[in-house]
Amino acid sequence: MNWFRHLQTINHHKFLVMKYCFRVGLYRQGLLHDLSKYSPSEFLVGARYFQGTRSPNDAERLDKGYSSAWLHHKGRNKHHLEYWIDYSLQPIEENPSPITGMEMPVKYVVEMFCDRIAASRTYRKEQYQDNDPYDYYTKSKSKYLLHPSSRELLEKLLIMLKDQGEEETFHFIRTQVLKKS
């Protein structure tokens, strides 16, 4: 079991998210981000499936057909789009899918953005570039059940990061995005 390396990875990721959240003024979210990863139901599974190059949840999913750690995690952390999936309020004639993504509060979309940068930095290490979070997002975005306005904001921030860099994007979030909400 790679429990120590897994702990180092969690701590590194959590520190980066905290740093980014602090840069935009989300102090409480920065401090509380991903605390469930230290719970036995997530930590022990993560240590067992640790590889260091990607989420242990992916390896657990390949092994078992699902990830118990992810199911636990997404239900406790509001910065994950999956937390906001619920039954649609639209009549079945207008929306044939019974479930949909609900609109996320802006502060959680921003935390999700910070989380994506931190995950890319954690797994890509020295090879990290500001386009990595956007590239990772675009590989799976067609599968995401994400409310249109939440999707629009997340994509805007990821594109801004890719094109203009961290400094301008964090300034925009602090002065424009979070000031409006």
Give Cα 174 distance to the centre of its chain: 19
Asked whether residue 132 carries a pLDDT value surpassing 80, the answer given is yes
Summarize the confidence of residues 128-146 as an average pLDDT: 96
How far is CA 107 from each of CA 25, 132, 137, rounded to the nearest angstrom? 10, 22, 19
Summarize the confidence of residues 6-14 as an average pLDDT: 97
Predicted local confidence at residue 1, as pLDDT: 60
Amino acid identity of 99?
Answer: I
Counting residues of the chain whose pLDDT is more than 70, the rounded percentage is 99
Q: What is the pLDDT of residues 35-68, one digit of tens each?
A: 999 999 999 999 999 998 889 999 999 999 999 9
Summarize the confidence of residues 20-47 as an average pLDDT: 97
Question: What is the spatial distance between Cα 146 and Cα 144, in angstroms, rounded to a whole number?
Answer: 6
134 closest CA partner among 114, 116, 112, 110: 116
Extract the tokens encoding 152. 């629009």
Q: What is the separation, in whole angstroms, between the first and last Cα of the chain?
A: 44
Question: What is the spatial distance between Cα 166 and Cα 169, in angstroms, rounded to a whole number?
Answer: 5
Q: What is the pLDDT of residues 83-103, one digit of tens each?
A: 999 998 888 787 778 899 999
Amino acid identity of 175?
Answer: T
